[in-house]
Structure formats: C-alpha cells, structure tokens
C-alpha cells in the first residue's frame, strides 16, 4: 500500500464538481438533503438532489408523514438525460423503497466514472429505522457492495455482514475484522463509525481501504444524541473528499465538525428535538478549499 495515499477525487482548478445527492427531504428536524445541500455547497460543490422521500419531520417525532417518491424517479432521471447533466459523484443515503436501489444503479451506469459514496442509512444502536423493511435492508446491503466509499455505523455494518449487533464497545481488532468483511463484499473504502468503549470519553472511527491501511480517528464523546449527526458526518466526509483531501483527513474533519456542531446545538432551545445545528460552522467547510 502507498505510504501517502492519493485523494479519491482530484480537484482541478476552478472546476466545480457536481454531486447527485440521493436522499430524502425532511421538512423539520435537520437531516438528509437539508444537511447535504448546504454542507457540500460550502465545499464548492454543485448539489443535484434526487429525493427518495418527502418527510414532514424526522421519524423521532410522533405523527410524521412520508411521501415515497419511487414512482417519479425514472421520469426524473430521464429528464436529466435529455439535458446532458454530468455528474462527478453519486452520494446516496436514506432510501424509501427497495426499488430505489435500481435508481442508484441507473446513476452508476449513466455515470461510470463518478465516485460512489454509500451512507447506508437504515439503523442505529441495534434498531432498524421504522420505515425500513427486511427487503429494504437487504437491498441497501446489496448496494453497499458497490461503494467506493462506505460509511456505516456499527449497526448498519452488522446488517450488511449478516451478523448480530454487539453494542458499541468493540476492539480495534474487531473493527478491522468488520471492515475487512465489508471490503471482501466489494466496498473499496470503509469508514466504520461510532465505537464507544466502556470507561472511555472518546468516540473512535476507523478508516481502511484498497490504498489505506487501518487508521483511527477519534473525538471527545458528547453525552447526548442528536438526530442528523450521521448525515452531517457523511456530508462533511464527502466535502473533504471533493475538496481534494484524502480519506483519513476527510474522516478526521468530519468527526471534529460533528463534535463542534453538537456543542453548538446544545445552546439552542429544544435542541434534542430540532436536530444538529451546524449552520454557524459552515465556514469551516469553506476552508477545506484552502
């Protein structure tokens, strides 16, 4: 392996890369496209949304409404093909139905040179999200095999590997084993998130890939959870990649940004409900461009 691996995307001059962001749009409770669009725009990217669902709010609120957009996506992308839309990266997150995996594969086929980042948004802390059926989980796991960059938390990694979730207290050796298993299924580079060991005050994330030896990036543990932090992390990771940073640098930036955004969030009223407040920190994303 190379001692100093090259970035996964080479930024060239004044060119603005274009990203197809395949994710849901949530009206209240910041997450998904509501995070991806501002974060990646701050990194100097042109974000082209492909909405997989419309939500009134995130699903931690009672009485949320979801509109599944599966039926419109073929026509949506066919309209793109008529105006010669060019795409440099395909970033997928939350999916509304198993058939939407075919939509992403269509993007892969149309743009074979585009970087493929899969954030397999489907579960956390051992629990599958309420809109995810076993069929959708299986489809998401299958999509993960095609990722250039795969960013699962421990629960999602266990689902993809067909294993039991054993909590967040795992060793580095176990993290390495899981990453090796995900790469054996086809993922080229993996960022495994959310290792929290008993008695420690840090969160560990592990990075490895075809040109990357196993590396750890860690941050201070913040003792509360907020909806949308995974979307912020993945979007910041891709922001770093599209700005020309390597995978480890991008993972380190993403972890630090989420940590700082959680501290900002705690200063807001009803912060546990409204989602992670990242807006005052977007200048840090702009600085990735140097």
Residue 286 lies in a domain: no
Tell the residue number behind the tokens 């069929």, with chain if given.
135
**Residue 244: predicted pLDDT:** 96
Task: Give the CATH number of the domain where residue 119 resides.
Answer: 3.40.1190.20
- Summarize the confidence of residues 249-261 as an average pLDDT: 98
pLDDT at 163 over 90: yes
Residue 5 lies in a domain: no
Residue 8 lies in a domain: no
Domain that holds residue 116: 18-281
Whole-angstrom distance, CA of residue 167 vs CA of residue 125: 7
pLDDT at 5 over 90: no
**Do 51 and 23 contact (CB within 8 A), yes or no?**
yes
**Residue 2: predicted pLDDT:** 41
Percent of the chain's residues with pLDDT above 70: 99
Residue 39 lies in a domain: yes
Residue 290 lies in a domain: no
Residue 13 lies in a domain: no
Number of domains in the chain: 1
Question: What's the pTM?
Answer: 0.96
Residue 186 lies in a domain: yes
pLDDT tens column, 119-162: 999 999 999 998 899 999 999 999 999 999 999 999 999 999 99
Residue 147 lies in a domain: yes
pLDDT tens column, 59-74: 888 899 999 999 999 9
**Do 136 and 143 contact (CB within 8 A), yes or no?**
no
Looking at the DSSP bridge assignments, the partners of residue 205 are 217
Tell the residue number behind the tokens 């590396």, with chain if given.
215
């Amino acid at each position: 392996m190379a001692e100093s691996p090259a970035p996964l995307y080479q930024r060239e001059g004044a060119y603005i890369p274009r990203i197809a962001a395949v994710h849901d749009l949530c009206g209240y409770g910041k997450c998904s496209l509501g995070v991806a669009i501002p974060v990646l725009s701050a990194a100097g990217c042109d974000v082209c949304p492909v909405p997989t669902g419309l939500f009134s709010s995130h699903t931690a609120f009672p009485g949320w409404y979801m509109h599944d957009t599966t039926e419109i996506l073929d026509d949506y992308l066919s309209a793109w093909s008529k105006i010669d839309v060019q795409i440099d990266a395909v970033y997928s997150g939350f999916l509304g139905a198993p058939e939407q995996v075919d939509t992403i594969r269509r993007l892969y086929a149309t743009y074979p040179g585009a970087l493929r980042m899969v954030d397999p948004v489907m579960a956390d802390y051992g629990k599958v999200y309420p809109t995810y059926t076993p069929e959708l989980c299986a489809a998401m796991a299958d999509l993960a095999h095609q990722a250039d960059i795969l960013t699962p938390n421990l629960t999602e990694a266990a689902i993809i590997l067909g294993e039991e979730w054993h909590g967040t207290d795992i060793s580095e050796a176990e993290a390495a084993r899981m990453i090796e298993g995900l790469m054996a299924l086809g993922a080229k580079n993996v960022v495994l998130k959310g290792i929290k060991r008993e008695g420690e005050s840090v969160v560990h994330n592990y990075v490895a890939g075809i040109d990357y030896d196993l590396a750890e990036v860690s941050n201070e543990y913040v003792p509360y959870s907020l909806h949308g932090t995974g979307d912020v992390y993945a979007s910041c990771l891709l922001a770093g990649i599209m700005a020309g940073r390597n995978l480890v640098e991008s993972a380190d930036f993403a972890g630090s940004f989420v940590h700082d955004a959680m501290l900002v969030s705690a200063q807001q009223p009803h912060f546990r409900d409204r989602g992670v407040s990242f807006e005052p920190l977007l200048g840090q994303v702009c600085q990735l461009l140097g």
